[in-house]
Amino acid sequence: MSFHVIKNTLNEFGGLAGLFPNLDKSCCFFDGASDVDIVCLERIMNIPIVLFGISNYWGQCIFLPCGVCKEIENFVRTFLWTGAGLDKYKSNVAWSWVGRRKDEGGLGIKSLQDWNISCMSIHLWNICSKNDTLWVKWINTYKIKGACLWSMKSRSIDTWVRRKFMHLRD
């Protein structure tokens, strides 16, 4: 299995260089792993496993409206407190407390709205740094047309997404 190779390589590197990863500060990211794989990985690697979900992919593709983010967080919140029944009248814990890091007593669940803003900020960063991707080249050629992103003004005829980017920029 590939995670055995990763573990053995890290140990071999540590033996040669004397540098070992700090397991308290290390985290492995995987996508598409089954529950059985996760348990095996955690046992072998002895570090927390974080799975990227659909929110990462779609968060980098589209800008989600705040109402959609709130509705999704509401479903997650209700599911956490009541299970699959989605009964809204069970005892709740403050959502801000759930979002705290695990070492602070929370569940480490990130706010979807904050995550959405972070993903869109990455797009702004790529546009400003003129990252060598087809999308950034297209935006710079056909939408920005060589103008400075910071001096552009938002207009009422702009698309919803462009207005959101301009608002995020400000």
Q: Where are the beta strands (DSSP E) in the chain?
A: 28-30, 49-51
DSSP class of residue 85 equals G
- CA 129 to chain centroid: 21
| Residue-level length of the chain | 170
Beta bridge partners of 124: none
- In this structure, how many other beta carbons lie within 10 angstroms of the beta carbon of residue 123? 19
What pLDDT score was predicted for residue 13? 78
Average pLDDT of the residues of the chain: 73
Q: In the predicted model, is pLDDT for residue 123 greater than 50?
A: yes
DSSP class of residue 31 equals S
Q: In the predicted model, is pLDDT for residue 51 greater than 50?
A: no
Q: How far apart are CA 73 and CA 95, in angstroms?
A: 9
What pLDDT score was predicted for residue 59? 60
Which has the minimum average pLDDT: 8-22, 38-52, 54-68?
Answer: 38-52
- Selection from 116, 113, 94 nearest residue 105 by Cα: 94
Residue scoring higher pLDDT (65 or 27): 65
For range 160-169, the mean pLDDT:
77
Q: How far apart are CA 20 and CA 14, in angstroms?
A: 5
For range 111-120, the mean pLDDT:
81
Q: In the predicted model, is pLDDT for residue 111 greater than 60?
A: yes
Q: How far apart are CA 34 and CA 50, in angstroms?
A: 12
For range 146-169, the mean pLDDT:
76
What pLDDT score was predicted for residue 31? 59
24-31: long-range pairs with CB below 8 Å, 24+: 28/3
